[in-house]
Chain A
Amino acid sequence: MKSAPTQFDVKQSQGEGRVQVTRSFTLQSAVQNSGAVAYVFLLPSLVFLAVFTLWPIVSVIWSSFRTRQGREQVFVALQNYERLFTDPIIQQVLKNTLFYVTAGVGFAVIGGLLLALLLNQGLRNIGFFRFPFLATIALPMVSVASIWLFLYSPRVGLFNEILAGLGLPLSNWLNGRELALPALFVVYLWKQLGYFALFYLAALQALPVDVLEAAKLDGITLWQQLRFIIWPLVSPTTYFVSTISVLGALQQIDHVFVLTTGGPNNATNMSLFYVYEQGFKYFNIGTASAMTVILLAVLMTMAILQFVYLERRVHYD
């Protein structure tokens, strides 16, 4: 035992010339090592996570095996899940959701990157051009949707006025089966594209200038520059944007309320809106919970897949 223990002993390892730092035991370092301090700092977040995320997950799984009878919630095993898969509208709902997710990711990544490339040009007053694309992020979806409702209106709306002016046949937009979902998607994209472009814009501005300049000296084409330099270098952003756009597409509900309420005949009914209808309109808490559990499972699987596979291929410099 040393009479006056120091916290760190510095030993010189003769052979390799490295400095080795070891810790001798004190109470302070024990607390630090056990991570207790870290947990104390994490506690507020953990409490919120437990109350607003973990507990609801447990509770929704519990409810998904029960159904309401009178006032009671009685256990019905897997009946809610069975009902879910025999509900004639569920296929339509899943198809619509899948469309939103795939189109959402595609447009977020490709459209977002292209928009960011345009907004990254060294023009004078580029802020003037950037502003309108990025301003849509700040608008509340409900106001956006209310304005688009008027644009789409088949009889007094702007779009049909334009079609009529051009002598083209008029469209029913939200009121027809074919165009309702794409029309809804356009509203979502119009509002969110600037948000995705913002991440790409930040990534583009952080690109190493010397790499691009060296490539230019080598006579690289614009396409090659995009494909072999920019695309790989922004891949962490692509990873991030594709993740948040999937989550974003699955969470869309407010413009469905304002524009179509899921109609006509479920043409625009999507997973979250379906959960709302089952849970709060029909008060089928069991069915709504079962659907939520499935959504949750899909999201978790996706998150895991994305971490395992995508992250490996993401290039960090």
Chain B
Amino acid sequence: MSRDSVMYKLLVIVISILLLTGGASAQDPITLQFFYPVGVAGPLAQAIDSYVAEFNATHDDIQVEPIFTGNYTENMARAQAAIMSGQPPDVAILLSTDLYTLVDMEGVIPLDDYINSDEPLDIDDFFDAFMSNSTSAGQVWGIPWQRSTPILYYNKDAFIEVGLDPETPPATWDELVEFGKQLVVRDGDKVTRWGFEAAAQFWTYANFAIQAGQHLGSLGDDPCAVYLDTPEAIEALTFLRSLQVEHEIMPDGDLPWRTLPADFIAGATAMIIHSTGSLSSLLADVPFDLGTGFLPGGSAGYGANVGGGNFYIMADIGEERQDAAWTFINWMVRPEQIGQWGIDSGYVAPRAAAWETEPLKSYAAEVPQASTARFQLEYAVKEFPATIAGPEIAQITQQAVQAVYTGQLTPEEALLSAQERSNELLVRGGCELDD
């Protein structure tokens, strides 16, 4: 083949083209796998998919592939299985209380270096109560995203009907009982409207314990702390039981979390405690004027715990992908973006700046109920159970509450046995408990 031959020139052209495209393919966008769950009612998956589509449209070098993975439990199971098989997703929304499990598996990375990088995030702008479940050993591991706290929902029409001020929800346990008794409607022996419903559920009970002066877990960073058997914890459950049997403002028997909104919408109860995440669907569905208030305070004043999911970046995916994941998270939690998410979902926008930025600023002025949860955050603390074997301890606590609601055990019996079972799990998980 001579240098001037046509074949030679062709060959040079072909090779150059190959090299050029080869060079271009090195700059192919990074594709990130993003696992996310949906924990409350409403078309939230569409909202997330639309945010991701907007991110992808505005970023040439990073493409995010959103993967809906079911509820929180299924999502966490899939993430754990993926981590153990060595093929984790790149970025995931998982429960804030899963932090210790994820760190224990070495499945996630701390984010402090990113927070202070040249793509910084003002982490102090995020509300303290939400950050308490996002930090461990002095490091930030999760960025709050779909965060909630329970609030009191009440039927203003019912308040007016019985002569109560519709703008003044009960502020204390005593007022809760007093208002509740006024709101109960009887038809012979049958109660046609109850005064109040609080679910037989660990997350609901944990609030009453805080109001009585006992956080059920550690307020700090101790994954081995569970306090179910203290006098205050017992007092809180005794109070809940008294609403059923002594004051008769709450129906006897198990009260599953998911049935409360239906009872409330149907007018079968005048007040409920539920997640702020239910606000959007309740606003759309109740046929009466919807009131919201802080959870009534106990002997230790107002109190609530938080809940919901954080963004995590996975370990073992390489620095380049972790950098890209951070760019994505940082884009998602921009004040205007996370404010829009708050409107779409009902979750509390977890950073102060979002509330001062459009579109949430106007929305909050228009829908005052949306701000109740935000202002209650001042009294809110870390979510229980942020412990070793957290999901199992949550379930054990829930079973104790159910046993009391159904009259099977006294609060003391139920909680002492729950404490004992929790201790076994903590010890099995490597905790050293002193007797």
Q: Which residues of A contact B (CB under 8 A)?
A: 68, 70-71, 73, 88-89, 153-156, 164, 169-170, 172, 174-177, 180, 260-261, 263-266, 277, 279-284
**In the bound complex, what is the Cα–Cα distance between A264 and B252 (angstroms)?**
12
**In the bound complex, what is the Cα–Cα distance between A180 and B253 (angstroms)?**
11
Q: How far is the CB of B151 from chain A (nearest CB, A)?
A: 22
- Residues of chain B within 8 A (CB-CB) of A263 are 200, 254, 256, 398-399, 402
Q: How far is the CB of B107 from chain A (nearest CB, A)?
A: 8
1/0 per residue, CB under 8 A from A, across B378-401: the answer is 000000000001011001001110
Known: A260-B256, A263-B254, A265-B403. 19 other contacts (CB 8 A): A73-B84, A153-B259, A154-B253, A155-B251, A156-B262, A164-B190, A170-B190, A172-B254, A175-B253, A176-B254, A263-B402, A264-B200, A264-B403, A264-B406, A265-B254, A279-B77, A281-B392, A282-B392, A283-B80
28 contacts between A and B (CB under 8 A): A71-B107, A153-B259, A153-B262, A153-B263, A155-B266, A156-B262, A156-B263, A156-B266, A172-B254, A175-B254, A175-B406, A176-B406, A177-B406, A261-B256, A263-B398, A263-B399, A263-B402, A264-B402, A264-B406, A265-B399, A265-B406, A279-B77, A281-B391, A282-B391, A282-B395, A283-B77, A283-B391, A284-B392
**In the bound complex, what is the Cα–Cα distance between A175 and B251 (angstroms)?**
10
- Residues of chain B within 8 A (CB-CB) of A68 are 84
- Residues of chain A within 8 A (CB-CB) of B189 are 169
B73 touches A280 (CB 8 A): yes
**In the bound complex, what is the Cα–Cα distance between A177 and B398 (angstroms)?**
15
Whether A280 contacts B77 in the complex (CB less than 8 A), given A155-B194, A263-B256, A265-B408, comes out as yes
**In the bound complex, what is the Cα–Cα distance between A282 and B394 (angstroms)?**
10
Residue B421 is within 8 A (CB to CB) of chain A in the complex: yes
Partner of B253, one of A156, A176, A261: A176
**In the bound complex, what is the Cα–Cα distance between A177 and B408 (angstroms)?**
8
**In the bound complex, what is the Cα–Cα distance between A164 and B189 (angstroms)?**
10
| Chain A residue at minimum C-beta to C-beta distance from B265 | A156
| Chain B residue at minimum C-beta to C-beta distance from A263 | B402
B262 touches A71 (CB 8 A): no
- How many A-B residue contacts, CB cutoff 8 Å? 89
| Chain A residue at minimum C-beta to C-beta distance from B392 | A282
Partner of B402, one of A155, A169, A265, A277: A265
A155 touches B77 (CB 8 A): no
**In the bound complex, what is the Cα–Cα distance between A64 and B81 (angstroms)?**
16
Residue B255 is within 8 A (CB to CB) of chain A in the complex: yes
- Residues of chain B within 8 A (CB-CB) of A71 are 83-84, 105-107
Q: Which residues of B contact A (CB under 8 A)?
A: 73-74, 76-77, 80, 83-84, 101, 104-107, 189-190, 194, 200, 251-256, 259, 262-263, 266, 268-269, 389, 391-392, 395, 398-400, 402-403, 405-406, 408, 417, 421
Whether A155 contacts B395 in the complex (CB less than 8 A), given A71-B105, A264-B402, A265-B402, comes out as no
- Residues of chain A within 8 A (CB-CB) of B106 are 70-71
Q: How far is the CB of B322 from chain A (nearest CB, A)?
A: 18
A155 touches B252 (CB 8 A): no
- Residues of chain A within 8 A (CB-CB) of B421 are 88
Q: How far is the CB of A175 from chain B (nearest CB, A)?
A: 4
**In the bound complex, what is the Cα–Cα distance between A164 and B266 (angstroms)?**
17
Shortest Cβ-Cβ A-B pairs, 8 listed:
A264-B254, A172-B253, A155-B268, A175-B254, A175-B253, A264-B402, A265-B402, A280-B77
A70 touches B104 (CB 8 A): yes
| Chain B residue at minimum C-beta to C-beta distance from A73 | B84
B269 touches A155 (CB 8 A): yes
**In the bound complex, what is the Cα–Cα distance between A180 and B405 (angstroms)?**
14
**In the bound complex, what is the Cα–Cα distance between A176 and B244 (angstroms)?**
13
- Residues of chain B within 8 A (CB-CB) of A155 are 194, 251, 263, 266, 268-269
A156 touches B83 (CB 8 A): no
A281 touches B395 (CB 8 A): yes
**In the bound complex, what is the Cα–Cα distance between A264 and B421 (angstroms)?**
18
Partner of A175, one of B101, B256, B403: B256
